[in-house]
């Protein structure tokens, strides 16, 4: 054939031959290149060589990238990842310190520690694989009877490494979890303790309660974890640093499978100290019983009582009605019950004794009488004729006459009788002046009320104390944009008008009258003791002020209060087994025809051991409810077989 004819072959300048068909194919290829605009005029392109160069370049790039990442991990971020590895290998857990307990003055225990169990989520141990994670969440949610999505959200949104999932778990949930916990990676059951209180509703406002620590509290409190309980109110809050001391820490080493290799105590937990209160728990129970009974008898809902030792300032009793069960909070507040408490219009959580601001009525009269004697406004034996009212004619309009009435016509009345019978006309006169008798005026009344501790906190060792309201002409001008009038002074003189005080202020002031002029700071805690009941610290009486009034002035005032029991407004208590002295009060409130009914009484008269202030709110009409309640309490108190000075 043509193609096999050797004569037709073309010789090149090198050893290889080109067949005729190669020329034809190259010609066609060249033509195609020209059509495609390819300028290269070669028989073949060396594709393999270019690929090898590209592969080398790509390999070098990958090697550089790996080197850079290795440098970052092993050099630049070595400490970070070493710490993470260490963190995965070791677990630091808190060793709980035992909280101190609380006793009354006779060493009857009122607050107890009770073991509880919490479910904790260790976020770093949660499975990374999504389906396994969801399985674990579903199982935990099923046991705790909660929504899986809520559980997942609670854990993921929490910034802490360990998240408290369920506090103080119920017995049934605990049993199921204990059998399943090995199948629930990332979850752990931990021991804890909760508080249990004796007769919660009776002691709750004084004792307070514990609650789970909040994220905000965690930022300011050292040595706490999210699983901890902390004092939220009352003595539990005020003495948190005494009752709860230092927690310890334990380090657990684990292998890659999560098995424990070793455990080491880093620091030992230090148990809290115990408190001994001035509280007489028997008296507290009796007051709560009688106050509740008396309130119900007059159709009221609210009342308070506080008893103080006038020699020490120790709070013997503190009762609020309505009250609440503080055990509700220590066990983890039930949302439904908590909502009911918070929405209750009678405010059972409110500590009226230390925070309630009230018109005091005639309980102010012993203090105003003391001021009048100290300022030499009047002799104690001078009589003022009470005809049942006084008339004040307007300076600007003679036809405008204001009447300031008394509750009775007392006739000629000296200071002792005025206190005993609670004569308003007498106190209008020595307070604001009338006829030929000059008065103290608002400035001097305010001065002596403040000396007796009104208008400011008593600094009782309980959180949330109020300070009442101390009016003055300047106060009225600033706050009411009105001028102070004589009528304001008359009202001021009998504990009405703008003046407000707390029950703790009232009992503190009457205690100063009873003890001869020593204003003491109220105290709930008598001593701190250790676990062996040895005294660590004993609290001495704290004197706010003394020698600020003449004892002779107070002697006259106390004689008037004693006469009030012999023949006056507190005569019901004259049959008690010891001599007592008292002052009643009936304070008007904004509801027409309703009053707050007060009594303050100290006993025994010659050597006072107790001052009791009691008030029933919102009493319809002029019913004398406070005195019968106080009478029953003191009858019980002074027939008990107990040393009074204890």
User: How high is the pLDDT of residue 255?
Assistant: 67
Q: Is the pLDDT of residue 10 over 90?
A: no
User: Which phi and psi angles does 223 have, rounded to 5°?
Assistant: 80, 20
More confident of the two residues 369 and 56: 369
Tell me what percent of the residues of the chain surpass a pLDDT of 90: 63
| Cis amide bond preceding 209, omega within 30 | no
Q: Is the pLDDT of residue 140 over 70?
A: yes
Residues in the chain, how many? 646
Q: What is the pLDDT of residues 182-195, one digit of tens each?
A: 899 999 898 888 89
Q: How confident is the model at residue 64 (pLDDT cuts 50, 70, 90)?
A: confident
Q: How confident is the model at residue 159 (pLDDT cuts 50, 70, 90)?
A: confident
Q: Is the pLDDT of residue 17 over 60?
A: no
209-212/187-197 β-pairing = unpaired
Q: How confident is the model at residue 3 (pLDDT cuts 50, 70, 90)?
A: very low
More confident of the two residues 5 and 510: 510
Residue appearing with tokens 């060493």: 107
Mean pLDDT for the stretch of residues 546-571: 97
All residues at 6 or more sequence positions from 102 whose CB lies less than 8 Å from its CB, including other chains: 109, 110, 111, 207, 235, 243, 274, 275, 277
Q: Enter the tokens of residue 236.
A: 């539990």
Query: Which CATH code fits 90-273?
Result: 3.90.1310.10
CATH 3.90.1310.10 domain span(s) along the chain: 90-273
* Ranges 84-88, 104-108, 555-559: which has the least confidence: 84-88
User: How high is the pLDDT of residue 484?
Assistant: 97
Q: How confident is the model at residue 641 (pLDDT cuts 50, 70, 90)?
A: low
CATH 3.40.710.10 domain span(s) along the chain: 281-326+349-637
Q: Cα–chain-centroid distance for residue 321?
A: 19
* Ranges 50-54, 207-211, 461-465: which has the least confidence: 50-54
Q: What is the pLDDT of residues 381-398, one digit of tens each?
A: 999 999 999 999 887 788
More confident of the two residues 559 and 33: 559
Q: Is the pLDDT of residue 14 over 50?
A: no
Are residues 388 and 424 in contact, defined by beta-carbon separation less than 8 angstroms? no
Give the Cα separation of 371 and 364 in Å (integer).
11
Are residues 319 and 289 in contact, defined by beta-carbon separation less than 8 angstroms? no
Beta strands in 383-458 (DSSP E): 384-386, 389-393, 401-405, 411-413
User: How high is the pLDDT of residue 238?
Assistant: 98
* Ranges 18-27, 175-184, 506-515, 628-637: which has the least confidence: 18-27
Q: Is the pLDDT of residue 640 over 80?
A: yes
* Ranges 134-148, 300-314, 488-502: which has the least confidence: 134-148
Q: What is the pLDDT of residues 576-630, one digit of tens each?
A: 999 999 999 999 999 989 999 999 999 999 999 999 999 999 999 888 899 999 9
* Ranges 317-326, 450-459, 542-551, 634-643: which has the least confidence: 634-643
What is the third-level CATH fold of 281-326+349-637?
Beta-lactamase (3.40.710)
* Ranges 130-134, 165-169, 511-515: which has the least confidence: 165-169
Give the Cα separation of 486 and 91 in Å (integer).
74
Tell me what percent of the residues of the chain surpass a pLDDT of 70: 85
Q: How confident is the model at residue 69 (pLDDT cuts 50, 70, 90)?
A: low
Helices marked H in 161-247 — which ranges? 171-180, 200-207, 215-220, 234-238, 240-243
More confident of the two residues 236 and 5: 236
User: Which phi and psi angles does 212 have, rounded to 5°?
Assistant: -65, 140
Q: The pTM is what?
A: 0.81
Q: Computed over its alpha carbons, how large is the radius of gyration of the chain?
A: 42
Mean pLDDT for the stretch of residues 249-253: 71
User: How high is the pLDDT of residue 124?
Assistant: 85
Q: What is the pLDDT of residues 401-444, one digit of tens each?
A: 999 999 999 999 999 999 999 999 999 999 999 999 999 999 99
Q: Enter the tokens of residue 121.
A: 């989520």
User: How high is the pLDDT of residue 218?
Assistant: 87
Mean pLDDT for the stretch of residues 90-103: 82
User: How high is the pLDDT of residue 83?
Assistant: 54
User: How high is the pLDDT of residue 433?
Assistant: 97
User: How high is the pLDDT of residue 9?
Assistant: 47
Q: What is the pLDDT of residues 301-325, one digit of tens each?
A: 999 999 999 999 999 999 999 999 9
DSSP conformation letters of 87-120:
HHHEEEEEEPPPPP-EE-TT--EEEEEEEEEEEE
- Mean pLDDT across the chain: 88
Burial class (CB in 10 A: 0-12, 13-18, 19+), 468: buried
At 536, is the secondary structure helix, strand, or coil?
strand
């Amino acid at each position: 054939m043509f193609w096999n004819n050797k004569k037709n072959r073309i010789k090149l300048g090198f050893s290889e031959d080109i067949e005729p068909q190669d020329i034809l194919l190259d010609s066609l290829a060249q033509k195609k290149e020209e059509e495609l605009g390819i300028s290269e005029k070669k028989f073949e392109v060396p594709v393999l060589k270019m690929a090898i160069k590209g592969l080398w370049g790509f390999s070098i790039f990958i090697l550089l990238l790996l080197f850079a990442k290795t440098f970052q991990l092993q050099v630049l971020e070595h400490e970070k990842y070493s710490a993470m590895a260490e963190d995965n290998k070791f677990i630091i857990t808190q060793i709980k310190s035992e909280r101190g307990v609380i006793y009354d003055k006779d060493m009857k225990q009122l607050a107890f520690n009770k073991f509880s169990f919490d479910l904790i989520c260790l976020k770093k141990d949660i499975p990374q694989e999504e389906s396994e994670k969801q399985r674990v969440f579903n199982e935990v949610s099923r046991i705790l009877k909660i929504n899986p999505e809520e559980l997942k959200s609670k854990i993921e949104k929490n910034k802490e490494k360990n998240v408290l999932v369920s506090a103080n778990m119920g017995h049934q949930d605990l049993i199921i979890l204990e059998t399943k916990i090995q199948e629930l990676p990332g979850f752990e059951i931990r021991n804890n303790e909760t508080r249990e209180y004796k007769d919660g509703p009776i002691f709750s406002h004084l004792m307070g309660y514990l609650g789970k620590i909040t994220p905000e509290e965690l930022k300011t409190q050292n040595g706490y974890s999210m699983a901890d309980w902390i004092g939220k109110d009352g003595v539990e809050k005020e003495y948190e640093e005494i009752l709860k001391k230092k927690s310890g820490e334990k380090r657990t080493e684990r292998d890659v499978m999560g098995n424990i290799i070793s455990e080491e105590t880093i620091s030992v937990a230090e148990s809290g100290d115990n408190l001994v209160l001035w509280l007489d728990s028997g008296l507290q129970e009796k007051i709560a019983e009688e106050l509740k009974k008396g309130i119900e008898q007059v159709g009221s809902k609210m009342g308070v009582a506080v008893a103080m030792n006038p020699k020490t300032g120790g709070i013997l009793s503190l009762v609020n009605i309505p009250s609440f069960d503080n055990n509700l909070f220590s066990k983890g507040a039930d949302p439904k019950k908590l909502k009911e408490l918070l929405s209750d219009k009678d405010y059972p959580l409110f500590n009226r004794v230390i925070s309630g601001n009230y018109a005091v009525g005639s309980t102010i009269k012993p203090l105003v009488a003391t001021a009048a004697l100290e300022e030499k406004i009047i002799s104690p034996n001078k009589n003022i004729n009470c005809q049942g009212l006084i008339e004040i004619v307007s300076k600007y309009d003679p036809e405008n006459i204001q009447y300031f009435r008394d509750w009775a016509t007392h006739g000629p009345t000296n200071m002792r009788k005025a206190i005993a019978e609670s004569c308003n006309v007498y106190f209008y006169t020595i307070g604001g002046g009338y006829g030929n008798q000059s008065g103290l005026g608002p400035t001097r009344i305010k001065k002596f009320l403040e000396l007796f501790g009104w208008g400011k906190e008593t600094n009782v060792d309980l959180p949330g104390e109020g300070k009442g309201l101390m009016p003055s002409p300047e106060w009225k001008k600033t706050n009411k944009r009105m001028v102070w009038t004589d009528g304001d002074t008359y009202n001021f003189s009998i504990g009405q008008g703008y003046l407000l005080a707390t029950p703790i202020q009232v009992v503190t002031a009457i205690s100063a009258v009873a003890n001869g002029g020593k204003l003491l700071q109220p105290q709930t805690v008598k001593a701190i003791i250790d676990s062996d009941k040895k005294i660590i610290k004993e609290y001495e009486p704290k004197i706010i002020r003394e020698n600020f009034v003449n004892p002779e002035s107070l002697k006259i005032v106390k004689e008037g209060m004693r006469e009030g029991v012999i023949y006056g407004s507190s005569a019901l208590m004259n049959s008690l087994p010891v001599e007592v002295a008292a002052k009643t009060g009936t304070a008007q409130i904004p509801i027409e025809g309703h009053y707050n009914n007060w009594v303050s009484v100290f006993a025994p008269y010659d050597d006072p051991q107790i001052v009791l202030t009691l008030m029933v709110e919102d009493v319809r009409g002029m019913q004398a409810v406070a005195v019968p309640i106080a009478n029953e309490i003191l009858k019980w108190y002074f027939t008990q077989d107990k040393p009074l000075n204890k």
